[in-house]
Amino acid sequence: MSIKRKYIFKQAFQSLWRNKIMALASIGSITAVLIILGYILMAVLNINNIAMITKEEFDEVVVYVKDNSQESDRQEFEDKVGNMTGVMAVVFKSKEVALSEVKNEWGDESGLLDDLRRNPLPDSYIIQLEDIRYSDLVIENINNFTIVEGIKYYQDTAKSLISISNTIEKIGIIVILILLFISIFLISNTIKLTVVFRRKEVQLMQYIGATNGYVRGPFMLEGTLLGIFGALLAIVILNLTYSYSTEYMTGYFALLSGFNNFIIPFKVVFNDISIIFITIGVGIGVLGSLISLKKFLSV
């Protein structure tokens, strides 16, 4: 290692050690920002993922039929809807079939359903669309039929999921910006302590003709290290808490079939999250250092 590099590393580690408390506060603030960012990211990713799956798997409209509806009305519905633009097929699903499907989904717990005195599920038509873009038109027309008790329409779910995730994104960005500001402020204060502590030495270096790299190097490295430590800590904590909480939720929602498929496991995003966190951590660190240096080192 050259004298210069050795000097820069030694100075940076020394001042981190000297200002332990401030260094810990700075690392903590970076970690906090990143964990919150991480959860917002994961929430948005997961909701978008669910929305995508819903969109893909359910480009169909389920129409629940009134129990007391006439057979002729039903026939008319089948014929007319079957001829609508954008409708590929109309499939009838009786309440008995629906119940047995639910029983299958519940698996071991299906015994609970055996005690039902009467089948609470309605008959239904599943209208398969040629394309999801026809859905609004088809739904509008279906509403005119008297036999229709309700329409279950997954695109709505998808849409509202996306709008939830957009809202989370927007609020998230604001929260993150505020937190970023706080961490940059904290870091610049940590670096300020070092700058003030070493002011005379630094001034001396500048008089002797040390290059900017030599003078600023240790401070920049100090900020960078704070950022890296904060990021690493955040990755570890996020990994543990996210994995634990999704496991817990999977247990909690065990009845919901396929809940597991909707949740993005942490290992899938580990690389991306690591890169994002370290980049942001280092960014905060460097920015904090620069602010301090600009303020307090102008010989």
Is the Cβ–Cβ distance between 292 and 219 less than 8 Å? yes
CB of 11 to other proteins, least distance (A): 11
CA distance 91 to 252: 34
Q: Is the dihedral of CA 69, 70, 71, 74 positive or negative?
A: negative
Q: Which of 103/216 has CB closer to other proteins? A: 216
CB of 202 to other proteins, least distance (A): 10
Is the Cβ–Cβ distance between 91 and 125 less than 8 Å? yes
CA distance 51 to 164: 10
Q: Which of 131/207 has CB closer to other proteins? A: 207
Which residues inside 147-206 make contact with other proteins, applying CB under 8 A? 200-201, 203-206
CB of 201 to other proteins, least distance (A): 6
CA distance 211 to 194: 19
Which residues inside 196-225 make contact with other proteins, applying CB under 8 A? 200-201, 203-212, 214
CB of 243 to other proteins, least distance (A): 47
Burial tier of 280 (Cβ tally within 10 Å: 0-12, 13-18, 19+): buried
CB of 206 to other proteins, least distance (A): 7
Q: Which of 65/293 has CB closer to other proteins? A: 293
CB of 215 to other proteins, least distance (A): 8
Binding of other proteins by 3 (CB under 8 A): yes
Conformation bin of residue 107: beta by default, left when phi > 0, alpha when psi is -120 to 50: left
Strand partners, 63: 125, 151
Which listed residue (116, 171, 268, 299) binds other proteins by CB under 8 A? 299
Count the neighbouring beta carbons within 10 Å of the beta carbon of residue 180.
Answer: 19
Is the Cβ–Cβ distance between 112 and 134 less than 8 Å? no
For the window 99-138, what string marks contact with other proteins as x by the rule CB under 8 A? Answer: ----------------------------------------
Which listed residue (7, 13, 185, 262) binds other proteins by CB under 8 A? 7
Binding site for other proteins (CB under 8 A): 3-4, 7, 200-201, 203-212, 214, 299
